[in-house]
Every structure is written in structure tokens, then in C-alpha cells.
């Protein structure tokens, strides 16, 4: 398929024209199409993508996208499949704090940067702590909103580990509101998801105090 063809291709020409949305199916563009799109955006911004300093920029941007959006190539729950049961009866909070969060706002495609605190109360088994950081990356390296990112991390832990409770708190700054629009620098957004026993008032206070350090 030539590079100029849209990534939204007709699924069936026989369907009624009034059902235009249903006729479209998503297909991942080719690398050549992605690089052509970057050249278009450079031109729209006001520069000449043919000049020496920009000639290789489209290829660099596409390679960068492969890193920034690597989460789409991962199945987050698979990261949690290997667990450990030999914990000598440990049944208290497992908490990993200050996990760096790097994501991209799906509304303006601007950076989201901050930290996540992820904790759970094991029922029988625990997971390696590096997997908690990888889980944050797997969901973070996608187009996101912070509220959904928080819920997805908690949901994956709950479904896979089946702990007695999960607590996830994310604090992040959003360049979509610091580099454009209201231009408010230094403002951070805090989101949290508490499940299981952490929904009980006493346990809730306990885990939030631990998250706050």
C-alpha cells in the first residue's frame, strides 16, 4: 500500500454511506507513512523538512516513538506472572515508592512526568519488585490520561496477584498545561486508586501515611 494512503481504510464498500464510521477500520501505518507524517508536521510548523538539519529528523522521531510508546508492544499482566510463595509468612504491606513515570498525554501528546507509589497487601504470593516498576512503564509508555494510568496499574495487580488490597498513587506534572494553554508551571496532579482492605477507613489512613512517607 503506498505511503500516501490513510491509516483509516474502508472496511467494506458495500455498507451504506451514512454508516461512515463503521466502514473504517484501524490499521497501523508503515514506517514510511509515519516518517512522511513527521515531514508534514515539520512543514506545517513553518520549516523546510528538506534542509540539512531536518533531513534525518523524521527517521529519528519514528525511532523515538518506538521507545516512548513501547508499552503497546507489552502485555502488562504477563510481567506479573512469576510470583514467589516463600515469604516466611510475611503478610504486611509491600510498597515501592518513587517509581519514575514517563508518559504522554493523549489529548495534546505532551509529556507527563512524575512518580508512582505502588503497594499491595499480599494474600499468599509476592512479585519481584522490579516487576512493579516495569508494570508502571508498560502502562505509562502509551498515550494516557493520569486517571486511567492509575486505575490500570491497580487493576493489573488486583487481577494477577489477587492480593487483599492494592494502593496506587501517582503525582505528575503535565506539559500540556505548562507549555501551552494556561501555562501553569509547578502544578502537579495527584491520582490514587485503593482497593480491597484499603477501602476500609483505618487501613486507608495507614496506607496513605505509608505512601506519604
| CA pair distance 30, 20, nearest whole angstrom | 24
Nearest to 34 by CA among 72, 74, 5: 5
Please give the average per-residue pLDDT across 145-164, as a whole number.
96
Q: Indicate which residue of 33, 35, 146, 152 is catalytic.
A: 146
Phi/psi at 70 (nearest 5 deg)? -65, -20
Model pTM?
0.85
Q: Indicate which residue of 33, 35, 144, 176 is catalytic.
A: 176
Q: What is the pLDDT of residues 102-118, one digit of tens each?
A: 999 999 999 999 999 99
Q: Indicate which residue of 66, 75, 107, 147 is catalytic.
A: 107
Q: Chain-wide mean pLDDT for the chain?
A: 88
pLDDT above 70 for 18: no
Please give the average per-residue pLDDT across 188-208, as a whole number.
93
- Please tell me which of 5-9, 64-68, 121-125, 174-178 the model is most confident about, judged by mean pLDDT: 64-68
Amino acid at each position: 500500500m503506498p505511503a500516501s494512503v490513510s491509516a483509516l481504510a474502508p472496511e467494506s464498500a458495500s455498507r451504506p454511506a451514512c454508516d461512515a464510521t463503521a466502514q473504517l477500520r484501524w490499521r497501523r501505518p508503515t514506517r514510511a507513512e509515519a516518517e512522511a507524517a513527521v515531514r508534514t508536521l515539520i512543514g506545517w510548523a513553518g520549516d523546510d523538512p528538506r534542509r540539512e538539519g531536518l533531513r534525518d529528523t523524521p527517521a529519528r522521531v519514528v525511532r523515538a516513538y518506538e521507545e516512548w510508546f513501547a508499552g503497546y508492544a507489552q502485555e502488562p499482566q504477563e510481567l506479573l506472572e512469576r510470583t514467589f510463595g516463600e515469604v516466611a509468612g510475611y503478610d504486611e504491606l509491600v510498597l515501592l515508592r518513587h517509581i519514575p513515570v514517563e508518559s504522554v498525554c493523549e489529548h495534546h501528546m505532551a509529556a507527563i512526568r512524575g512518580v508512582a507509589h505502588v503497594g499491595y497487601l499480599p494474600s499468599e504470593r509476592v512479585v519481584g519488585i522490579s516487576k512493579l516498576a516495569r508494570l508502571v512503564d508498560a502502562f505509562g509508555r502509551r498515550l494516557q490520561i493520569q486517571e486511567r494510568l492509575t486505575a490500570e496499574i491497580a487493576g493489573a495487580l488486583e487481577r494477577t496477584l489477587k492480593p487483599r488490597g492494592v494502593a496506587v498513587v501517582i503525582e505528575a506534572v503535565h506539559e500540556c498545561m505548562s507549555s501551552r494553554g494556561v501555562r501553569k508551571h509547578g502544578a502537579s496532579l495527584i491520582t490514587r486508586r485503593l482497593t480491597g482492605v484499603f477501602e476500609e477507613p483505618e487501613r486507608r489512613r495507614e496506607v496513605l501515611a505509608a505512601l506519604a512517607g
